[in-house]
Amino acid sequence: MQIGNINIETPILLAPMAGVTDYPFRVLCKEQGAGVVYSEFVSAHGIIRENAKTWQMIEFTDFERPIGIQIFGDSPEVMGKAARMVVDKFSPDILDINYGCPVPKITKKGAGSAALRDLCLMDDITSAVVEAIPKVPVTVKMRAGWDSKSIVVPEVGPRLEKIGVKAIALHPRTTKEKYKGTADWSRIKELKNAVSIPVIGNGDIKSPQDVIRMFEETGCDGVMIGRSALGNPWFFKEAVALYKGESLPDSPNINERAEKCLEHLDQMIEFHGERVGINLMRKHFGWYIRGFTGAAVIRKALVVAADKDEMVTILDSMT
């Protein structure tokens, strides 16, 4: 898959997820074969104010390339300026615009998937970003529409392509659906038929086999993995194997899960600092420690553990 001038060797991508796809998690997924990793979404207003925490959310290493930085905002002027600042300071491979977040605190401000209710604003924001960074491919991640009565997929795709967007990732639910019901993959196929740029499918990928099925059913150029990667960076290794026609590798055993938790914990502390890193890691333990006998007891102990030493002791007891 080609996104602008960026060649994607394996078109199986890590989706941007707020509060999840920070540097430590992206690295773990990249190690397992993710073709592209995306940052969690970053506020354009925070960028132009040069907020220190905002800058930290964007930091990445060359190991993660190709990497996309995702930004969100409700103002063409602010989004264009933020895009230019990100490119000047960090030089990402891809700059992605968030038109998909359904969370009310974002949409109430007119950002995220709220743009699906005002396509003229979407055009203006997209144009401002594309014009601000002419040498960096701009992509969009979007939903199918605001609600079931306003599906915008067939109209928006060509509009975004004409403006200069180099690829579109589609989660084929509406804003109002959030994550309920079933993702309608036929909308991904509809978008693919409406544009000539790459289309990346996203939504209800629950197994590596689903990745292959999405490619086959929709004709999409890439598949983006979100919730199935939580506590399971090995998902990429498994999906890539099937994509390449190889046999499915064995699922990680309890020892491997414990070792990955320890590795992830160390990286979280190194990147975020001990107090913040430990607190952020608690939710990841909830995702890693599942699917085996006694998992619930271990998971609870890790989530309430007082400090790193106690967490390490619990994880060591698993191996």
Domain ranges of the chain: 2-243, 254-318
Going from the C-alpha of 118 to that of each of 104, 146, 173, 201, the distances in angstroms are: 16, 10, 18, 23
Write out the two tokens for 135.
Answer: 């040498």
Instruction: Note the pLDDT of residue 307.
Output: 94
Inter-residue contact 131 to 125 (CB < 8 Å): no
Which amino acid is present at 94?
A: I
Instruction: Note the pLDDT of residue 100.
Output: 84
What are the backbone angles phi and psi of residue 37, rounded to the nearest 5°? -120, 145
Q: How far apart are CA 240 and CA 246, in angstroms?
A: 8
Inter-residue contact 129 to 103 (CB < 8 Å): no
Q: 3-class SS at 168?
A: strand
Strand segments, DSSP code E, in the chain are: 2-3, 6-7, 12-14, 36-38, 42-43, 67-72, 94-99, 138-145, 167-174, 199-202, 222-225
DSSP structural state of residue 16: P
Instruction: Note the pLDDT of residue 35.
Output: 98
261 is catalytic: no
Q: Which of 101, 120, 220, 261 is catalytic?
A: 101
What are the backbone angles phi and psi of residue 198, rounded to the nearest 5°? -60, 140
Instruction: Note the pLDDT of residue 178.
Output: 85
Q: How far apart are CA 44 and CA 54, in angstroms?
A: 9
Which residues in the chain show pLDDT less than 70? none
Pairing mode, if any, of strands 6-7 and 2-3?
antiparallel
Region 2-243: CATH code: 3.20.20.70
Element (H, E) at 152: none
Instruction: Note the pLDDT of residue 98.
Output: 93
Q: How far apart are CA 273 and CA 48, in angstroms?
A: 25
Element (H, E) at 30: helix 23-31
CA 164 to chain CA centroid, Å, is 22
Instruction: Note the pLDDT of residue 114.
Output: 82
Instruction: Note the pLDDT of residue 103.
Output: 80
Residues 6+ apart with CB under 8 A from 154: 190, 191, 194
Write out the two tokens for 174.
Answer: 């509406």
pTM (2 d.p.): 0.94
